[in-house]
Amino acid sequence: MVQGRLARMAASTIACDSLATWAAAAIDDGQSGELEAIIAKIIASQCVREAAIEAIGVHGGRAFLTGHPLGDSLHDHLAVSIYEGESDLLGLALFKGLCKHHPLALQGHGASRSRRVVEWLAWRTGRWLRSDCGMASDRAILDRVLREHACGARRMLAGLAVRIDRMLRRYGKSLADRQLEIAAVSAEVQQLTSVLATTHYADAVGNTSALLAADCWCRMALARARGRKLTAADQTALAALGKSIVKGDTLDGP
């Protein structure tokens, strides 16, 4: 049980490092980095909160005694999903950012028909989510398991783009009143995007522990995106990662 908790923490750690690196690279590349930063913040705050809860399970009731380092800092661990933007509200902002280039958003703003068609084609092909360059880079990942995770996440994001389009066309402006649906779709985007960031980051790091931790994160994120429980194979991967951590392996080692 403890090794499983350590494995989930390690998987979360490499996911946070991956998203931070991805957001920084977007900014260095001259992009705004807004959507990347939103996803990084949401995922990181969830990871910190869940790690604190996992740690309480390890330390037991003594974690709540005065002077215990975990108990004394528990507020900071739980507050990260509130400060600098509450996670659910940021998720709604992410959805809005994804949809603002949809052709329906151009209606009423003097956009010509030809421009709306161009914007539609650009949005539907998903330059941010499923560019040809992105799919090619996914296939270039050396580790077979991570490559499969990345390609699977990319395909799911492509399907998600179609779902978002249908939601926009079906509900129009009234979609703003369906915040629970928006939050659910946004959460899927966050999880799937974290898979892409983590697979490419771990592939660049290259050491065995990082690859194993990335595999575990991808399994958990894909399960959440699909709305299913972890399989026996997923649990086996977590157990292997936990055992390697107990042996002293590190994510940034050789």
Q: Which residue has the higher pLDDT, 107 or 211?
A: 211
Q: Taking the mean position of all CA atoms in its chain, how far away is CA 52?
A: 19
Model confidence at 225: pLDDT above 90: yes
State the average pLDDT for the chain: 84
For the chain, what are the domain ranges?
2-246
What average pLDDT does the segment 186-214 reach? 94
Q: What is the mean pLDDT of residues 127-144?
A: 67
Residue 118 clears pLDDT 50, i.e. is over it: no
**What's the pLDDT score for residue 106?**
53
Task: Give the pLDDT mean for 194-221.
Answer: 95
pTM of the model: 0.84
pLDDT of residue 128: 47
Q: Is the pLDDT of residue 253 over 70?
A: no
Buried b (16+ CB within 10 A) or exposed e, 82-116: eeebebbebbebbbeebbeebbbbbeeeeeeeeeb
pLDDT of residue 251: 67
User: How is residue 118 written in tokens?
Assistant: 């161009």
Asked if the model's pLDDT at residue 125 lies above 70, the reply is no
